[in-house]
Amino acid sequence: MLRGVLEELGVAGHERISAIEPREVASDDRRHTTISPTTARPLATVQLDDRASLDREVAAAVEAFRAWREVPAPVRGQAVRAVGDALRRHKEALGALISLEVGKIRPEGLGEVQETIDIADFAVGLSRQLYGMTMPSERPRHRIIEQWHPLGPVGVITAFNFPNAVWGWNAMLAAVCGDSVVWKPSLMAPLTALATNEICRRTLTDLGHPDIFRLVIGADAVVGDSLVGDSRLPLISATGSCQMGRLVGQRVAARLGRCLLELGGNNAIIVEPDADLDLAIPAIVFGAIGTAGQRCTTTRRLLVHESIADSVVERLARAYASASIGDPMAQGTLVGPLINQRSVDAFLAAIAAAQSQGGTIIVGGKRAPGDGFFVQPTIVAAPRSNELPIAGEETFAPILYVFTYRDLDAAIALNNGVAQGLSSALFSGSVGASERFLGPAGSDCGLAYVNLGTSGAEIGGAFGGEKDTGGGRESGSDAWKHYMRRQTSTISHAAQIMHAQGIRFG
């Protein structure tokens, strides 16, 4: 199966893949064997980069940038249009590869590739809209304009859970902005990265453009650390845990580089007494158990008004009971595996912590049958005091903690009462409640939804969050500005030098 998919994507014989579905795990300084989350068997062995090969890749990215920055932006946009078309042609196979490698169910694997296609389309239009402003000068015969120029090679670090689209958000914008990219994917998803990068870079080089999409595969301690510290990369865009982001942020700040951080979330859905539960229940289920709880936007906390808590939890429990867990490639599966054994251990540890802190398991709480890393989607009711410290942590697994509240402001306080600030949602039929939630004293998150769940953002808006989520914004809106440098350009055609602020000198 895997070989066929890799063949279709044109990377089965890639020099970096040394074995497909090998019998043995071979992992050392130079090689890494990934494990199928579905079968727990070896999936492929890939060659790893070291500091020297990373250095060569960054040098090649600098070289490519020098040529690419001078290609007119709309021409760069046409190239990105071809990249989007290539992704469309390979959508099926890339989606399957994502399912095989990280265990996303088929519709979600395909949805992820669609997200990259969408951002490519967005970037094509953007390539003609990299607008700067003009400002009136205080001096006669002077003109001030703001220009946006290409920034440089961009380092992009991605997590296993969106092994294609998160690079896409960064790379498609970087490309139209005139930058090259050095991508360090998760070691849990090197195949998707390899195939994605190959398809996109080949599309550009076949059109005669510079080879702007570079890839390095390696351990965080070796390749990640050097990449982040490399001052040839003016911007590091990193997606992953808050812990990782804190390290990256400090390292990049130390060299006065720029950082774009998209870190952990701890997202809540508030359900008001006047909520339409026919909308709320499926949204909560998708948010909490979709992608087996491994999105940064996953719904981790349910804040439900005490008057309807019992009926909401009962309906959720019924919906959970019918969610089929299993092979992500099989039709009808709703919950695939977690990425690895460590994630299963973290799931079990969180359940144990929740119980010892007074939480009650409503459904789930155990490993699910199968050779791979399957767990049961779980609902935990917080104790009456609403004190449940484990719910403050982001465990990348399908665990939903349920809290109750009496009035909306208390629910908003619970929503905001965690370190992370990525996504949030409210279900209510009331305009007042909705405005309160979206207002300045409402949700403190980067994403706020009304009558929708916390996950599944469209690419057109800026994506990211506040507080420990890192403050970065990727994807749509004006996120492109991260990938360019701003120049305020003042031009005079006056006969003599005039100083600003009315200063007369000499």
Supply the minimum distance, in Å, between the C-beta of residue 292 and ligand UN1: 12
Measured from the CB atom, is 287 or 365 closer to ligand UN1?
287
Measured from the CB atom, is 11 or 171 closer to ligand UN1?
171
Strands 154-157 and 181-184: parallel
The binder of ligand UN1 chosen from 192, 297, 333, 378 (CB under 6 A): 297
Max Cα–Cα distance, the chain, nearest Å: 85
Local structure of 359: helix, strand or coil:
coil
Residue 325 in tokens: 């867990």
Residue 58 in tokens: 């960054």
Strands 267-271 and 258-262: unpaired
Supply the minimum distance, in Å, between the C-beta of residue 492 and ligand UN1: 47
Q: Looking at 177, 259, 296, 445, which residue is catalytic?
A: 296
For the question of residue 296 being annotated catalytic, the response is: yes
Supply the minimum distance, in Å, between the C-beta of residue 158 and ligand UN1: 9
Residue 354 in tokens: 């929740």
Binding to ligand UN1 by CB under 6 A, coded x per residue (else -) over 222-251, reads -----------------x------------
User: Which span (64-72, 97-105, 160-168, 372-380) binds ligand UN1, by CB under 6 A?
Assistant: 160-168
For the question of residue 262 being annotated catalytic, the response is: yes
Distance CA 373, CA 39 (A): 8
User: Which span (149-157, 247-255, 292-300, 424-432) binds ligand UN1, by CB under 6 A?
Assistant: 292-300
Measured from the CB atom, is 203 or 454 closer to ligand UN1?
454
CA 457, 284, 352: angle at the middle one, nearest 5?
110
- Sheet containing 42-47: which strands, arranged edge to edge? 17-20, 42-47, 31-35
Supply the minimum distance, in Å, between the C-beta of residue 438 and ligand UN1: 18
Measured from the CB atom, is 150 or 446 closer to ligand UN1?
446
Distance CA 53, CA 55 (A): 5
DSSP 8-state code for residue 223: I
Among 333, 330, 338, 327, residue whose Cα is nearest residue 292: 338
Rule CB under 6 A: say whether 163 interacts with ligand UN1: no
The binder of ligand UN1 chosen from 162, 167, 373, 480 (CB under 6 A): 162
Distance CA 156, CA 315 (A): 41
Rule CB under 6 A: say whether 161 interacts with ligand UN1: yes
- The residue count of the chain comes to 506
Rule CB under 6 A: say whether 260 interacts with ligand UN1: no
Site for ligand UN1 in 369-408 (CB under 6 A): none
Distance CA 418, CA 394 (A): 10
Measured from the CB atom, is 45 or 161 closer to ligand UN1?
161
Quick check: 96 and 109 in contact, CB under 8 A?
yes
Distance CA 99, CA 108 (A): 8
The binder of ligand UN1 chosen from 36, 376, 443, 455 (CB under 6 A): 455
Strands 142-150 and 134-135: antiparallel
Supply the minimum distance, in Å, between the C-beta of residue 455 and ligand UN1: 4
Cβ burial of 28 (10 Å; 0-12, 13-18, 19+) is exposed
User: Which span (56-64, 242-250, 253-261, 295-303) binds ligand UN1, by CB under 6 A?
Assistant: 295-303
Rule CB under 6 A: say whether 186 interacts with ligand UN1: no
User: Which span (242-250, 339-347, 435-443, 455-463) binds ligand UN1, by CB under 6 A?
Assistant: 455-463
Half-sphere exposure in the Cβ direction for 249 (13 Å, CA): 17
- By CB under 6 A, how many residues form the interface with ligand UN1? 11
The binder of ligand UN1 chosen from 224, 456, 470, 472 (CB under 6 A): 456
Measured from the CB atom, is 245 or 365 closer to ligand UN1?
245
Among 92, 83, 125, 124, residue whose Cα is nearest residue 111: 92
Quick check: 312 and 273 in contact, CB under 8 A?
no
Rule CB under 6 A: say whether 300 interacts with ligand UN1: no
Measured from the CB atom, is 195 or 457 closer to ligand UN1?
457
Measured from the CB atom, is 194 or 238 closer to ligand UN1?
238
Measured from the CB atom, is 244 or 457 closer to ligand UN1?
457
Distance CA 293, CA 305 (A): 23
Please give the sequence-ordered ranges of beta strands (E in DSSP) within 320-389, or none if there are none: 360-363, 378-381
Rule CB under 6 A: say whether 295 interacts with ligand UN1: yes
Quick check: 264 and 296 in contact, CB under 8 A?
yes
Catalytic residues: 262, 296
Residues forming the site for ligand UN1 (CB under 6 A): 115, 161-162, 166, 239, 295-297, 455-457
